[in-house]
Amino acid sequence: MLNPASMLGDVKFSGPELVGLIVAVSFAAGLNTYATVATLGLLAHAGWIDLPSGLHLLTSWWVIGASAVLFAVEFFADKVPAFDLVWNALHTFVRVPVAALMAYGATSQLSPEKQLLATLAGGLIALAAHGGKTAARVAVTPSPEPASNIALSAGEDTLAIFLTWFASAHPIIAGSIALTFLIGIVIVIRAVVQAMRRLFRGAEDKLSPASGKQLTAA
């Protein structure tokens, strides 16, 4: 009988593989923390992944069960227009810290300096993914039909689970995919910021002559 781990290449998470795992899992956690944690725990129980010692807590059935229940709650809550914005805002204080803690646990065998760097990187990657997700929701929520919200949320859930699973077999490729998404998010956010600046400058230019005329008339 084949061992599932052998079919996946029996990946040892060290060096570039560990970096790829952290990047992919942190990005996934920024999209859906509960799905990421539950998937990691189930993969470890199935023998599909040998988690770093600092992440063995994720294999607890209590952790897996709690994550699965919360994922079920988020699955529905995240698909309700307008309410999903509140839900995502509150989860800024969940996704980022959990991603940072997982990065911290995954690098427990490294020096304190490298562990701190990995923790910061994990948190920042999750924050970027979370920010991109929230920005997409702000853009889609004004749409009168709920189908776009549902499709977007389902896509995010699927991507989080896929990246977590794929990182167990091909951590470097999974990390590269996550980095590609991160670059896209940065480009989009930069374009949005520049557009907002131009908008505010245009509004100021329109208000300035009017203000000058009011002062002259006074």
Q: Quick one: pLDDT at residue 150?
A: 87
Total-model pTM: 0.84
pLDDT in tens, 35-53: 999 999 999 988 888 898 8
Going from N- to C-terminal start, the domains of the chain cover 4-217
Closest by CA position to 125, among listed 186, 188, 45:
186
Q: How far apart are CA 109 and CA 122, in angstroms?
A: 16
Q: Look at residue 174 in the predicted model and tell me its pLDDT.
A: 96
Each residue of 176-189: pLDDT tens digit? Answer: 999 999 999 888 77
- Residue 36: both structure tokens together: 């990421």
**Residue 10 pLDDT:** 52
Q: What is the mean pLDDT, run by run of 10 residues, along the chain of 218 residues? A: 42 83 96 97 91 92 97 91 88 95 94 95 95 85 76 93 95 96 87 76 66 50
Contact 23, 175 (CB under 8 A): yes
Beta-carbon count within 10 A of 152 CB:
19
Q: What does each C-alpha distance from 193 to 12, 141, 187 come to in angstroms?
A: 41, 19, 10
